[in-house]
Each structure stands twice: as structure tokens, then as C-alpha cells.
Amino acid sequence: MENSPLRNAPHTAAAAISSNWDRAYPREQAAFPVHTLKQDKYFPPVGRIDGAAGDRNLVCSCPPLEAFEDNTAAFEN
């Protein structure tokens, strides 16, 4: 089933409240798939990146560790 809450998870808060809801299942099922989540729910800030493949193969855009090495000498007295 391609258009299911599990396949399209995680649902962000912005997606759940958007007026452009084009999914085959209701918003409440997407936002609260389990009844107990209505008490304490964490909405992720982003959805999936390129499906499951992008979630497993993230690319770090951080500067290399060498960029931070020179800054430590200023704090050593």
C-alpha cells in the first residue's frame, strides 16, 4: 500500500495542518496513529529525505574537524 500513514511517515506539524491534504487517510490518523500520542506528541521538524534511501544515506555538510583545531589554542593559558 503506497499511500499509507506508515509509508509517508513522519508527518510534520506543518504537513498535518496544511490546507493541501492529498493523502488517502485522514489527518488525525497521520498525526496520531496511536491514541496515546494525543497526550504527548513530538512532531519532527522535517519529513523523509528521498524516501528511506535518503534517511539512511545522509551527507554531513559540517566543516571538517581540522577547522576547529586552531580555535583551541586561544583558550589554553
Give per-residue pLDDT as tens, 22-49: 888 988 888 888 777 777 777 777 776 6
Rounded to 5°, angle at Cα 50 from 22 and 42: 65
Give the integer Cα–Cα distance in Å for 49 and 21.
Answer: 19
| Top-confidence residue, 63 or 75 | 63
Residue ranges per structural domain of the chain: 5-75
pLDDT of 72 above 60:
no
pLDDT at 73: 56
Burial classification of residue 25, based on how many CB atoms lie within 10 Å of its CB (0-12 exposed, 13-18 middle, 19 or more buried): middle
Look up the pTM and report it: 0.50
pLDDT at 45: 77
Give the integer Cα–Cα distance in Å for 16 and 7.
Answer: 15
**Which positions ≥6 away from 3 have C-beta within 8 Å?**
23, 24, 25
